[in-house]
Amino acid sequence: MSGYPPQTYLFVPGNRPERFAKALASGADRIILDLEDAVAPADKAAARAAMAEWMASAGEASAKLLIRINDAATDWHAQDLALARSVQAVCVMLPKCEAAGQISEVLARLAGNATVLPLIETARGMLALPDIAAAPGVARLAFGALDYMADLDIQADSLALDVAASQIAVASRAAGLASPLAGVTPALDAAQVSDDMRHARSLGFGAKICIHPAQVAAVRAALAPSAEELAWAHRVLQAWQASGAGAFQLDGKMVDRPVVLKAQRIAAQAARTGSPLIP
């Protein structure tokens, strides 16, 4: 399995077992078997049973599987955690995480070295961001933008949404976590998915939650460096190696360590996607 942080996380309703294997074949880096929003209350028990049966025979694929449980305020939370423990889930996505203590409570009921991926979806969660990000056992953070919009009664074009997203990226970086996951794009249009991911990337995000296999390729393409970025990084790194100095000029502009680090990150992204550094 790649040593790079996953970029694509694909939701699959827990009560649709016929889709589980298809999700694994989609090319997504991780699969999230969902017990929360995608499953009606009357179907929760059947979803847990279907997931338990399938995950018991998932073999090596288990390392790619997450379970999104219902939040701590619901009647299903404890049963979802019991399922996660019984199948030795490697990671649990925790909706509406609002305190670091919720993470430790979840971890205490899971098996082995399981981790938690908190969804930040409320104002309370935003206020507790530093503690949540720094809590032991956190895999990385995710932004539940749709629920956050509902909680604050704001629209998708509100500046407040970008401010919240940026704060999640900052908290992730400060805690030493991989860059966070952007929330879902309801539309299946590849261009819209790519635009949303590029915007999230500009705010410090490095992955996205997908709701359909068709979105996976669009997310990955949006996260790959553009031809212009590749050409710029190549020129910067060549000039840096030739200069042998801590700072130098390129095209009349000063290039110092932060600029070189940016070029190196682009080179690393190119290596991950198999893109040549010289486009």
**How confident is the model at residue 144, as a pLDDT?**
98
Per-residue confidence (pLDDT) for residue 272, from 0 to 100 = 77
For residue 183, which of 248, 232, 117, 127 has the smallest C-alpha distance? 117
Residue 179 · residue 207 · CB < 8 Å? yes
Task: Tell me what pLDDT residue 2 has.
Answer: 58
Dist. CA 257–CA 209, nearest whole Å: 33
pLDDT of residue 278: 58
Q: Which pLDDT does position 1 carry in this prediction? A: 45
In sequence order, the 6+-apart residues with CB closer than 8 A to the CB of 21 are none
The stretches in the chain having pLDDT less than 50 are 1
3-state SS, residue 168: helix
Closest CA to 165 of 208, 136, 131: 208
In angstroms, rounded to a whole number, what is the distance separating the alpha carbons of residues 119 and 243? 45
The whole-angstrom separation of Cα 74 and Cα 183 is 22
| Structure tokens given for 246 | 């801590």
Q: CA 80, 81, 85: angle at the middle one, nearest 5?
A: 120
Instruction: Say if CB 205 and CB 164 are below 8 A apart.
Output: no
Concatenated DSSP letters of 19-77: GHHHHHTTT-SEEEEESSTTS-GGGHHHHHHHHHHHHTT-GGGGGGEEEEPPPTTSTTH
CATH ID of 8-223, from 3.30.70.20, 3.20.20.60, 3.40.190.10, 1.10.150.530: 3.20.20.60
Identity at 174, one-letter amino acid code: A
Q: What local confidence, expressed as pLDDT, does residue 17 receive?
A: 97
Tokens of 18: 């016929």
| CATH 3.20.20.60 domain extents, the chain | 8-223
Q: What is the DSSP annotation of 221-268?
A: HHHSPPHHHHHHHHHHHHHHHHH-SSSEEETTEEE-HHHHHHHHHHHH
CA distances from 208 to 37, 111, 194, 200 (A): 17, 26, 10, 9
Determine the length of the chain.
279
Q: What is the pTM of this model?
A: 0.91
Question: Looking at residue 277, what is its pLDDT?
Answer: 63
